[in-house]
Homo-oligomer: A and B are copies of this chain.
Amino acid sequence: MAAGRVLVVGGTHGNERNAPWLLEAWQRRPTLLRRSGLALELVLGNPAAHAAGVRYLDRDLNRSFVPEQLDAADPGDREQQRARDLLIRHGPRGDAPCLVVLDLHSTTAAMGNSLVVYGRRPADLALAAALQQRLGLPIYLHEHDPEQTGYLVESWPCGLVVEVGPVPQGVINATICRQSQLALEAALAVLAEARAGELGQPADLVVHRHLGSLDLPRHGDGSPAAVVHPERQHRDWRPIAAGDPLFLTAEGTTIAFHPTADQGPQPVWAVFINEAAYGEKGIALSFTRRESWPVRPQWGQALVDLARDLEEESL
């Protein structure tokens, strides 16, 4: 592969303000970010939505990287155009090509400092495993959800989402910024190691594998008939067993969790509990299964092969 840089994106959603604030600080004073010697492209994901202070204008930019849409003749709406522009500029064959993308997000859910991996690309898994070894970050492995596709990172050969919360939309919080920066700097250090052929990998990778999502119970008119139960609120990354409280109606009735046949009798782990932006997607929380996978040598090899072509920072 031709040489390329690391793309660092913030503000893919225009009402998430922490990463854009960091980007601006790093642009003003590049020494504030430990780049580990790698050449970076620092890019505001959705400038128009950021300026308007909303998640998106026409559609979620982080669902707009759908290959058939990107290849279509129709220019599409503003986010579809922005997705195409980002690839023309910073895609692996773009004008300022990037090989790896780190997409910095925040959430109203209490996800802490965490990673989201889309699918099981070997280089992504190697990067996530090394990050987990360094910082202990929990990992949400998102896959096999036909309702939710077209994520930004999938359009680059390797990429992760850093997801930090809880923080309200529109709020810059110093601790959330610090966590985001820590995760990014650790990712850059891992990539620099991989580039040098010195990638460290743990024996096992712990993932929370996506099983599915659940909406709030709703009235016939679509309005919520219940809300997330207080015993679930801010309890991301924790197991839920059959019979545990899930929702609470206005009448004070608790609706308990009942696993589906697919989920089986083992506990499920909840993530993105009561994320503000997911209401419109019909997601009150998502279920995962916590699994420990042996780290395979070919994952690290894929990342090393890719990282070899990463450009160094010009000093």
Contacts and interface: CB of A to CB of B under 8 A. Distances in A.
Interface of A: 21-22, 24-25, 28-29, 32, 53-54, 108, 166-175, 177, 219, 223-224, 227-230, 233, 248, 250-251, 274, 276-277, 279-280
A32 B174 contact: no
Contacts of A171: 108, 168, 274, 276
Contacts of A25: 250-251
B173 A251 contact: no
Contact of A173 (B167, B174, B177, B228): B228
Copies of this chain in its oligomeric complex: 2
9 contacts: A21-B223, A21-B227, A21-B250, A32-B250, A168-B171, A170-B279, A173-B228, A173-B233, A174-B227
A280 B167 CA distance: 18
Contacts of A230: 174-175
Contacts of A29: 250-251
B172 A169 contact: no
Given A250-B22, A250-B25, A224 B174 contact: no
Instruction: Pick from A170, A172, A279 the residue with the most CB of B within 10 Å.
Output: A170
The list of the 6 closest CB pairs from A to B, nearest first, reads A25-B250, A168-B168, A170-B276, A108-B168, A174-B230, A171-B276
A227 B173 contact: yes
Contacts of A170: 108, 169, 276-277, 279
A63 B293 CA distance: 56
A90 B108 CA distance: 36
Contacts of A228: 172-174
Contact of A174 (B177, B233, B279): B233
A175 to B, nearest CB: 5
A91 B22 CA distance: 47
B177 A227 contact: yes
Nearest to A52: B54
Most chain B beta-carbon contacts within 10 A, residue among A25, A167, A171, A172:
A171
A174 B276 contact: no
Given A233-B174, A250-B22, A168 B227 contact: no
Contacts of A54: 54
Contacts of A248: 174
Contacts of A166: 168
Given A29-B250, A169-B276, A250-B32, A229 B174 contact: yes
